[in-house]
Amino acid sequence: HLDQQLELLARKQKQLQVTSPIAGEVITWNVHDRLIHRPVDRGHMLLSVADPSHPWRLELRVPEDRMGHVAQAQKAVGEELRGEFILATEPGKTYQGAVANVHHRAEVRDNQENTVLVEVAIDKEQLKQLRPGATVIAKLHCGRRSVGYVWFHDLVEFVQSRVLFRL
């Protein structure tokens, strides 16, 4: 009976080992202090792991109401939709990228509005300091429009969706 209990405890102890699905570096700050005496359940995110040797991508959370513009631009330009971004730590320098992937589903993330995840491929050689999780301000180039459209398209879309649609 004791051998069965010992075997059961060994299996439970083996299940406590957590492995990363990718090879890379742990980028979570102060790991020991974050995990010590912390109760953990299945599915909890404990650490962040990044592989700096692979290509880097920005994950942009584009509001769902802006995705029509992005889809139209992709049809006009093709898959090579360009964008630019600035880092919060270096606001004076602009970097370039290209849309690599647009997810097909909108989701609510971080208690914000419905957003669609857009991945932008970047050349990591142009960045001096790579920081996973860094904040960026980005814009996607969706073509040229008149100044009036750029300034008032939100108002026009609001009237179309909230006023004219209800008539």
- The per-residue pLDDT for range 92-113, each reduced to its tens digit, is 889 999 888 888 888 887 777 8
Confidence of residue 29 (pLDDT cuts 50, 70, 90): confident
8 Å CB contact between 18 and 48: no
Q: Copy the structure tokens of residue 53.
A: 């040797």
pLDDT at 130 > cutoff 70: no
Does this model's pTM top 0.85? Answer: no
How far apart are alpha carbons 119 and 41 in whole angstroms? 30
What is the predicted pLDDT for the residue at 40?
79
∠ at Cα 37 (36, 43), nearest 5°? 85
pLDDT digits (tens, 9 = 90+) for 43-61: 777 888 888 788 888 889 8
8 Å CB contact between 116 and 106: yes
What is the predicted pLDDT for the residue at 90?
84
Q: What is the DSSP letter of 55?
A: P
How far apart are alpha carbons 97 and 37 in whole angstroms? 42
Q: How many CB atoms lie within 10 A of CB 93?
A: 12
pLDDT at 4 > cutoff 90: yes
